[in-house]
Structure 1
Amino acid sequence: MTATLVLEDGTTCAGESFGARGATVGELVFCTGMTGYQETLTDPSYHRQIVLATAPHIGNTGWTAEDDESGRVWAAGYVVRDPARHPSSWRARSRLDDELARQGVVGVRGVDTRAITRRIRDRGSMRAGVFSGPVDVATALATVRASAPMTGANLTGDVSPRRPAVLPAFGATRFRVAVLDLGCKRNLVRQLRRRGVEVHLLPGTAGPAEPLDRGVDGVLVSNGPGDPASAGHLVEFVRGVLRAEVPLFGVCLGHQLLGQALGMSTYKMRYGHRGSNIPVVDTATGRVAITAHNHGFAVAGAPDERFDTAFGAARVTHFCPNDATVEGVRCLDVPAFGVQYHPEASAGPHDAESLFDEFTSLLGVRR
């Protein structure tokens, strides 16, 4: 069956149906990862986004539930060039297109993903739709333009759990950490548990008193979808933790919320950072780490900028040399820091995993 990708600016690309048949709309973004498509698709931060894979050959390792980063595919749609006909991995339990069809994820294959990526880079991320079968382009374009933009979208309530949960440490328990789950990836929790952390998963509706009442040693604010500027209640949660001087680690959306709590602003990027091959510079050491990203918003600031906040001094600790985007911030008078990228990256790279050791060191100092 044919399928058509329709962009907000009127661009249309004809291909073949891939995954489920039907229609879907969302923000079209490109991901530059050569591997890890399953982790990408099941990352809750891709909620309401149509993901375009820049790697031309997708699906060669099939699908296995062990690699899911959540309980379902969150991407609104999938755009690929040349999917594998059959997986070539002993771990595969099904094919990628079969799993997309099972979960109702509409996709398109056989389009010029390179040309579409260049268009997004030139004009910025935009709304789009994938439509299976014969399509009236004018009607499809009107549907795309009527869909909600990502700017102003508060989406954490769609992906956050409804009730708290406690997950034991792997081995002896050294610390207890509350994770504000705004779309938390499973490997983030595993990284903590491997370091002897008992994890208390909290829904996004939790107040700042809840982790304190549980007597935890620290708080981690997770990744998640949507516009951070629309999440004022979550900023207040972070401020409450900062006032209590409990060690805090913000990851991706959590980093953006920390920035806002410190008085910084956020903005919509032209096309964002998404992939597993993005360099980040540590301003203190000059060390460059290759990291995984998934963000279309960022904190406004300059590399190594120092500034005053309601909680004492703070500074920008990391930046992306490609475009000078702020990638990390740290408080100097209270135990809190955040990074825009993903130190829990699965399927890699693993250059930034040591940030979890840094966080657990803060927990030990407080105890």
Structure 2
Amino acid sequence: MTGYLQLNSGECFQGQWLTSAPADGIKGEIVFFTGMTGYQEVLTDPSYKDQIIVFTYPLIGNYGINEANFESKKPHVAGVIVYEAKQTAFHYEAQYSLIEYLEKWGIPMLGSIDTRAVVKKIRSLGTMPAVLSSSENKIEQDMTLPENHKVSKVTVFTPEQHGSGDQHIVLMDFGTKKSIVKSLVKRGCAVTVVPYNTSFEEVKKLKPDGVLLSNGPGDPKDLQSVLPTVKKLITHYPTLGICLGHQLAALALGANTNKLAFGHRGANHPVVDSVTGKVFMSSQNHSYVVDTHSIKDTGLTLRFTNLHDQSVEGLQHEKYPLQTVQFHPEANPGPAESEYIFDEFIETVKANNGRVFAYA
């Protein structure tokens, strides 16, 4: 059955539905992912909440969907655009095909689309609202995306316990990936995942040795209400911020964030570590970045830099035991070269030896 992708800029692309056609038009911000693999992790990453994802690699789905690589309990994307998707899966761990998985959750996938042309349009005009529909008629409805609190849709509602160990980490859940929790548990940590709006006093009662500010969807400036809590956590506990958590830490300490034209989404983004001098490839998924010039006089110092566009990829603080990264050190999907970030964080937690400190 014929389907259509219509962009806010006016272009219309014709394709074929690979899943059931949506009864009504599906609206979302259209973005693209450049990795050759990792589609299962992308679909279930809460940071993609309500977005229409274009996979740039021309063949998607050939190894199917397994039970091990989910980043959350369900997919979060609004829709999927591909050139070609396999009807069957060719991997011993595959439980079902990509098409079967998306059909199960009611996520529409449109195939036979010239994804190169779509991505060129996004790269030239930036990410934008788009509609998936079964009609080629010009969409008359307003494509403006509603302002909604995406983080509240992907956070846990009650605290969750994971793992056991000498170091207790409280993870503020803005839309965390399961592999972040796994990375901490693997390193001998007891992890308590709490809702994003948990107060400082409630976190303090849990007696953490360290705090992790997770990834998540949307504009960090939509979370102004949590910034005072984030600042208190940073000034009392060793803290690691990942992706959205990195941006929130910067905002809480007086820096600023901006939106990129088309974001960083893929598993091949080169980053340089100014401490080691080494360059590594990273897995990324974000639309917003910390403004380099805005960190002046905040106590924040630049540690990681993106070698494609020189954007901020990670920060440290002159006084607080704070470390932040814009990329994903848990590396799902993507290269695992940056997993040492977790090791550094745990070493900082151990060195603090459970002390609760407060800086003026």
With structure 2 as the length reference, what TM-score do the two structures score? 0.94
Distance 1:20 1:191 in 2: 37
The residue type equivalent to 1:290 in the other structure is M
The residue type equivalent to 1:210 in the other structure is E
1:268-283 aligned within 5 A: 268-283=259-274
Distance 2:88 2:212 in 1: 40
Whether 2:296 is the aligned partner of 1:307: answer yes
Paired position in structure 1 for 2:166: 174
The alignment partner of 2:30 has SS state of strand
Distance 2:352 2:123 in 1: 45
* Residues 218-246 of structure 1: CA deviation (Å, up to 9, x unaligned): 000100001101101222221111232x1
2:253 equivalent among 247, 262, 286: 262
The alignment partner of 2:169 has SS state of strand
Paired position in structure 2 for 1:156: 151
Compute the displacement of 1:205 (Å): 1.8
The answer to whether the Cα contact below 8 Å between 1:185 and 1:223 also exists between their aligned partners in 2 is yes
Paired position in structure 2 for 1:297: 288
1:84 equivalent among 83, 86, 91: 86
Paired position in structure 2 for 1:237: 229
1:250 equivalent among 236, 241, 245: 241
The answer to whether the Cα contact below 8 Å between 2:267 and 2:335 also exists between their aligned partners in 1 is yes
Paired position in structure 1 for 2:204: 212
Whether 2:339 is the aligned partner of 1:353: answer yes
Distance 1:318 1:197 in 2: 25
The alignment partner of 1:191 has SS state of helix
Whether 2:27 is the aligned partner of 1:25: answer yes
The alignment partner of 1:272 has SS state of strand
The answer to whether the Cα contact below 8 Å between 2:71 and 2:177 also exists between their aligned partners in 1 is yes
Which has the larger displacement, 246-255 or 285-294?
285-294
Distance 1:143 1:351 in 2: 45
Whether 2:12 is the aligned partner of 1:12: answer yes
The residue type equivalent to 2:157 in the other structure is R
Whether 2:56 is the aligned partner of 1:54: answer yes
The residue type equivalent to 1:291 in the other structure is S
The answer to whether the Cα contact below 8 Å between 2:129 and 2:144 also exists between their aligned partners in 1 is no
The answer to whether the Cα contact below 8 Å between 2:87 and 2:99 also exists between their aligned partners in 1 is no
**C-alpha RMSD of the superposition:** 1.4
* Residues 118-177 of structure 1: CA deviation (Å, up to 9, x unaligned): 11001100110111x3x1522x2x3362432xxx653110100111111123xxx12000
* Residues 180-232 of structure 1: CA deviation (Å, up to 9, x unaligned): 01111000000000000000000012012222211110000100001101101
* Residues 226-280 of structure 1: CA deviation (Å, up to 9, x unaligned): 1101101222221111232x10000000000011012110111100000111111
The residue type equivalent to 2:233 in the other structure is V
The answer to whether the Cα contact below 8 Å between 2:314 and 2:324 also exists between their aligned partners in 1 is yes
The alignment partner of 1:198 has SS state of strand
The answer to whether the Cα contact below 8 Å between 1:208 and 1:241 also exists between their aligned partners in 2 is yes
Where does structure 1 lack aligned partners over 5 or more consecutive residues? Answer: none
Distance 1:308 1:357 in 2: 28
The answer to whether the Cα contact below 8 Å between 1:25 and 1:144 also exists between their aligned partners in 2 is no
Compute the displacement of 1:107 (Å): 1.6
Paired position in structure 2 for 1:286: 277
The alignment partner of 1:274 has SS state of strand
- Indicate how the Cα distance of structure 1 residues 259 and 334 shifts in structure 2: closer, same or farther if over 3 A, else same: same
Which has the larger displacement, 221-230 or 278-287?
278-287
The answer to whether the Cα contact below 8 Å between 2:242 and 2:325 also exists between their aligned partners in 1 is yes
* Residues 86-138 of structure 1: CA deviation (Å, up to 9, x unaligned): 2110111111011101101012000100111011001100110111x3x1522
The answer to whether the Cα contact below 8 Å between 1:154 and 1:227 also exists between their aligned partners in 2 is no
Whether 2:333 is the aligned partner of 1:333: answer no
Distance 1:201 1:154 in 2: 19
Aligned length: 351
With structure 1 as the length reference, what TM-score do the two structures score? 0.93
Paired position in structure 2 for 1:106: 108
Distance 2:136 2:348 in 1: 58
The answer to whether the Cα contact below 8 Å between 2:161 and 2:190 also exists between their aligned partners in 1 is yes
Whether 2:352 is the aligned partner of 1:366: answer yes
Distance 2:263 2:82 in 1: 19
Where does structure 2 lack aligned partners over 5 or more consecutive residues? Answer: 354-360
Distance 1:349 1:155 in 2: 28
Paired position in structure 2 for 1:143: 141
Distance 1:114 1:159 in 2: 31
The answer to whether the Cα contact below 8 Å between 2:60 and 2:85 also exists between their aligned partners in 1 is yes
